[in-house]
Structures are given as structure tokens and as C-alpha cells.
Amino acid sequence: MELKKFEMRVVFGLVVIALLTRLLPHPPNFAPITSIALFTGGHFLNKRLAIFIPLLCMFLTDLYIGLHSLMPIIYLSFVMISILGMKAKSISLGVVLSASTLFFIVSNLGVWYFYYPHNWAGLSSCFILAIPFFVNSLMGDLFYTSLLQFSFNKLKQFSFTIAK
């Protein structure tokens, strides 16, 4: 199996996983989108596709879950995470922690801007109240990134063994 076919199968699988896990009951922010953004950024040769896939997953599920005013900010954070995946030499623990932190900061700056008073009390209140969501994001990002990396490596190993 050539890499392009394998890559497209991975893309399709990622979309299906993202759609299912965002639509099934789960703890808030325990979702694979950050992991998919890192994974596609780090592994896909087509960088436009690497940025597009997480955004497509978000948009399709947002159509069902509900559209909201923070979508541009949330989507921008996933573009930034995809670029982080592109720039990283490998998807390490530090890269996952950076991606989780990036999402936490960017998304909460958006929440603060739109929903909190524009002062120190509003900013600190916004970020303090978001800590439980950050914990869930971090756990989900670590879980899904590990799962994606392990699965990808095993599938790649299996598919290239068959191709020989």
C-alpha cells in the first residue's frame, strides 16, 4: 500500500473518531481534536489537509452540537496547534503539553474577551474557573495522542509488511 492511500485512510479514520467522540457523552473538553491537529500537522505531507482535517471535524460536530460566538477563536487555536505539530520534530510529551496549554490560553482569552469584565478580576476569574476544563483537556490530549501515535505506528508497520 502506498503512503498516499494509507494517509487517506488515516484521515477518514480520524474524522470518524472525532465525530463519534465529540457526539458521544464525554467529560467536557475530553476530546481528540487537539490530538488530531498535532497528529495531522506532524505526519501529513499535505499541510493544507493537516490544518483542514481538525477544522472539518470541529465544524461538522458543531453543526450538531451548536454554533457559537467563540468558533473563530477555537478554530484559530486548532490551526495554531496544527502548525505546532508541523514545526515539532516529533510529537513528544512536551509538545502535547504545549498544545494543551496553547488551547487553554487562546480559548480562555476569547471567553474573557466576550463574557467577562475587561479587568484583572475578570481575567483571573475566567482562567481560574477554566482550570477543571484544562485538566480534562490535558487528560484527553494525552490519551488521544498516545492512542493515535500507537495506532498509526502499528497500522503503518502492518500495512508495509503486507505490501512487501
Instruction: Report phi then psi at 66, rounded to 5.
Output: 140, 140
CATH of the domain at 79: 1.10.1760
Exposed, middle or buried, 45 (CB in 10 Å: 0-12/13-18/19+)? exposed
pLDDT digits (tens, 9 = 90+) for 105-151: 999 999 999 999 999 999 999 999 999 999 999 999 999 999 988 88
* pTM for this model (two decimals): 0.90
Range of the domain at 21: 3-163
Domains held by the chain: number: 1
Q: Centre a 10 Å sphere on the Cβ of residue 1 and count the other Cβ atoms it contains.
A: 13
Give the CA dihedral 98, 18, 162, 153, nearest 10 degrees: 20
pLDDT digits (tens, 9 = 90+) for 50-92: 999 999 999 999 999 999 999 999 999 999 999 999 999 999 9
Q: Band the pLDDT of 161: cuts 50, 70, 90.
A: low
